[in-house]
Structure 1
Amino acid sequence: MATRAAPHLKQDGGENGQGRDATRTHRCGVCDKVFSCKSKLNRHMRAHTGEMPYECGECGKRCTQLINLKTHMRSHTGDNPHACGTCLKVFMSASRLNIHMRIHTGEKPYMCDKCGRQFRQHNSLKIHMKTHTSDKPYRCDKCGKQCRQLGSLREHMRTHTDERPYRCERCDKRFRQASTLRVHKRTHSDEILPVAISTDPKAVRTRVDVKAPCSTLDHHRVSDMSLTNMATGAGSHLKQGEGEDGQDFPCTHKCSYCDKELRSKSELNRHLRTHTGERPYRCVECGKRFSRQFHLKTHMRTHTGENPYKCEHCNKGFSQSGVLKTHMLTHTGENPYRCEECSKQFTTLSSLKSHVRTHTGEKPYRCEECSRQFTTLSDLKRHMRTHTGEKPYTCEACCKQFSDLGNLKRHIRTHTGEKPYKCEECSRRFSELGHLKKHMRTHTGKKPHKCEECSRQFRELGSLKKHIRTHTGDKPYERE
């Protein structure tokens, strides 16, 4: 019977030609992979033939194995029988729990022999290896798009067929992917599990706020929104499939909203928050919320005053390594980003992009209160404080409050007497960069402000404004 089962089955006999020896193996005729029993070989062959004989009666999803279908059915019933003993997060299958446990242990047993990167799952390593080969074996017959994984191709095909198998029970809205439905369901619930952060700079840690309004949530709901889930991005937005013997593997890391492809499931989860607006990490000092734990840790340094990144040249401290790198360019004089319009150079790409808008006139950020528009998001945020009256920055010396951090830093120098900006020509020092720039014009003779009436030029904008009044006759400070 075994030899007549199918033409693609190859059998290897045991030692000494024994007929039904326990060492008999079953070899795949397509890829030569060897299995210990015929049933495993039959399941494996479906990976080549694409056969999926088990169909879900709820959503129509098809599976290659019965155990995969049973596990999938729990996504409809809500049954999560496997619980993590560390964080109480629950899972539909034992294999997912085993993989999750590596988050707590830090175990990453699978290493890439090309770049040394390590992974918690074997299939994550397989997917990663394709980034070295650029192999995309799955091709769409409609538009020719190629995908690294079969699951990615199947989800892509729904953009052509407009198939939407996942339905919201609250509003009847339908979606192409289960992950999109999960994100959508949050629009029907306002409950978020807050996260608190210790202010101790030596041990910034996360903990679940037990005073949060979670008493109405059932055990599964609390576990789904547990800190581990938020911190690692485990599973909530990921499109996953299951392999042989019930093992799980990530099928795709594509965004359900904009089709952007991400390299890992953690990157996908972080990216999805740009669409959902979810900010699960909250500062206990000021209540500000963040989409990433790393951003919260960095923000906490504004409260603790910690500046772990020191400049080798001037010993100035910074809360972020990226800010230190940008600062270092002020010592080297390097300005790698150049404007094609006016040839002005900048130390950062973001500064160049903001500058280019002065040429294009683009102001993409709009105030909802007064409709005023701004070239940068930071300018809009500062402007919004003129409506709210918010002044979050306080001077510790005199308790004066400011709406802008830069204004506070300049003010503090009136107490310390610090003048960090030095003229290279005459060694005169200034407390503000703008004052140094104005002073430098006395050496260069540059007069950038020109009168449109008589073409007279001035070093400072204030001088030009005074001059213009000689043409207009305006006397704004005349006594009544």
Structure 2
Amino acid sequence: QSEDDVKTHKGEDQSEDHIGACRGENNFERIPVAVSCAEKPYKCSECSYSSKSSSYMKLHLLTHSDNRPYKCSECSYSCKSSGNLNKHMSTHSDEKPYKCSECNYTCKWPGVLKKHEVIHSFDKPYECYVCNYKCKTSSCLKTHIRIHTGERPFKCSECNFSCVTSGNLKIHLRSHTGEKPYKCSECNYSARTSGELTRHKVTHSLDRPYKCSECNYSCKLARDLNCHLRIHTGEKPYKCRECNYCCTQSGHLIRHMRMHTGEKPFKCVECNFSTSQSGDLKRHMKIHTGEKPYKCSECDYSCIKAGTLLRHMKTHWRKAKLI
């Protein structure tokens, strides 16, 4: 090798043009030649993100663009990277090539399998400093902590919805696009998430394999049994940071926190009604549709809410007592 070649290899005597070309001209800030490996020299000009890799920076810059050049040939889905399109395309296929070596679990992506394999370990080294929650991965703990802090960094560009994970935001966006990529093989049901499809599939079976050891409760899903067992243990791991409220499920805490924040993410598309709970919105929508599913067995009265029907039925009971 010549002396010039050695200098180039060491990073010496490189031209300014060469350095700029390597780092992606005009996309992010140029930096001095001599940098430490521990530094993140590639800085985004749109936000505070920085990276050690120019390739990662180029991928990050796509998040600031509305361009979604990669389009699904099966549905209306589009995205910003070929990798995301490849992942999406697998939702149109039933193939699950990744298999767990400990049980019969199969899935479509290696990352999902890696997360699944953690459940075969009893070790939960990550502990919440606010409550007694423990988990197996640092990412799970980071997500859990947001329940206590109220941080909801992922925001919808179509409405004021925000959430604690990017996955939940992707699922929410399907409520705007109408996309339901998960199809039931037994009927024409389709769902926004694989979890919704899994829960639906158990409706085709009468089997309730998960049984409580303390009472005669049984259910179709393991997670339902885990929640039920907290009734017997008294465990309420989810605690409100604003008051002394605590509960058995994270979803209950999220709904409770809206009392403190005043957040009303569920909005009517027909009028300016908004509410903190999805169930309230469903009941409200019946005003617009005219649906009155709760019917009196004594007369032709019908109404929108079960509670309203119960109050109506009491008028019949009082009349019966007077006779």
- Class of the TM-score when normalised by the shorter of the 2 chains: 0.5 to 0.7
| C-alpha contact (below 8 Å) 1:283/1:300 kept by paired residues | no
User: Equivalent residues in 2 for 1:234-383 (5 A)?
Assistant: 257-258=102-103, 272-275=117-120, 277-285=121-129, 286-337=131-182, 345-383=190-228
Please tell me the residue identity of whatever aligns with 1:437.
K
Give the deviation of 1:428 after TM superposition: 1.8
Is the contact made by 1:270 and 1:291 (CA closer than 8 Å) also made in structure 2? no
Deviations 1:98-144 (A, max 9, x none): xxxxxxx9xxxxxxxxxxxxxxxxxxxxxxxxxxxxxxxxxxxxxxx
Quickly say closer, same or farther: Cα 1:340–1:426, change in 2 above 3 A: farther
For residues 132 and 190 of structure 2, the distance between their equivalents in structure 1, rounded to whole angstroms, comes to 38
CA, structure 1 residues 259+387, in 2 after alignment: closer, same or farther (shift >3 Å)? closer
Amino acid at match of 1:393: Y
Question: 1:322: Cα distance to partner?
Answer: 1.0
8 A contact 1:279–1:292 mirrored in 2: no
Structure 1 partner of 2:254: 409
Distance 1:336 1:467, change over 3 A: farther
Distance in structure 2 (CA, Å) of the matches to 1:315 and 1:465? 36
Q: Decide whether aligned partners of structure 1 residues 317 and 458 sit closer, same or farther in structure 2, where only a CA change above 3 A counts.
A: closer
- Provide closer, same or farther for how the CA distance between residues 259 and 300 of structure 1 changes in structure 2, counting only shifts above 3 A: same
Q: Which of residues 435, 441, 453 in structure 1 aligns to 2:286?
A: 441
Shift of 1:281: 2.9
What is the rounded CA distance, in whole Å, between the counterparts of 1:359 and 1:448 in structure 2? 24
Identity %: 43
Larger Rg over CA atoms? 1
Q: Which residue of 1 aligns with 2:233?
A: 388
User: CA 1:474–1:291 in 2, change beyond 3 Å: closer, same or farther?
Assistant: farther
**Shift of residue 442, structure 1, vs aligned partner:** 1.3
What is the distance in 1 between the residues matched to 2:188 and 2:294?
19
Counterpart CA distance in 2 for 1:269 and 1:342 is: 31
Aligned to 2:273: 428
> Would the aligned equivalents of 1:395 and 1:401 in 2 still touch at CA under 8 Å?
yes
Cα distance change of structure 1 residues 460 and 293 upon mapping to structure 2, 3 Å threshold: same
Question: Which residue in 2 is equivalent to 1:56?
Answer: none
**Contact conserved, 2:128 with 2:145, CA < 8 A, in 1?**
no
- Asked if 2 retains the 8 angstrom alpha-carbon contact of 1:393 and 1:403, the reply is yes
| C-alpha RMSD over aligned residues | 4.3
Which runs of no fewer than 5 residues in structure 2 stay unpaired?
1-37, 39-97
Q: Residue type of the partner of 1:313?
A: E
TM-superposed CA distance for 1:325, in Å, is 0.4
Q: CA deviation at 1:372?
A: 0.7
Could you tell me which residue of structure 2 aligns to residue 397 of structure 1?
A: 242
With the length of structure 2 as denominator, give the TM-score of the two structures: 0.53
| TM-score when normalising by structure 1 | 0.38
What letter matches 2:275 in structure 1?
F
Q: What are the equivalent positions in structure 2 for 1:104-115 lying under 5 Å apart?
A: none
Secondary structure (helix, strand or coil) at the match of 2:213 reads coil
Q: Decide whether the 8 Å contact of 1:449 with 1:460 is kept in 2.
A: yes
Mapped partners of 2:119, 2:147: distance in 1? 24
Could you tell me which amino acid in structure 2 is paired with residue 415 of structure 1?
H
Aligned to 1:249: none
Give per-residue Cα distances to partners, 1:24-68, cap 9 Å, x unaligned. xxxxxxxxxxxxxxxxxxxxxxxxxxxxxxxxxxxxxxxxxxxxx
Determine helix, strand or coil for the equivalent of 1:383. helix
Matched residue pairs, number? 224
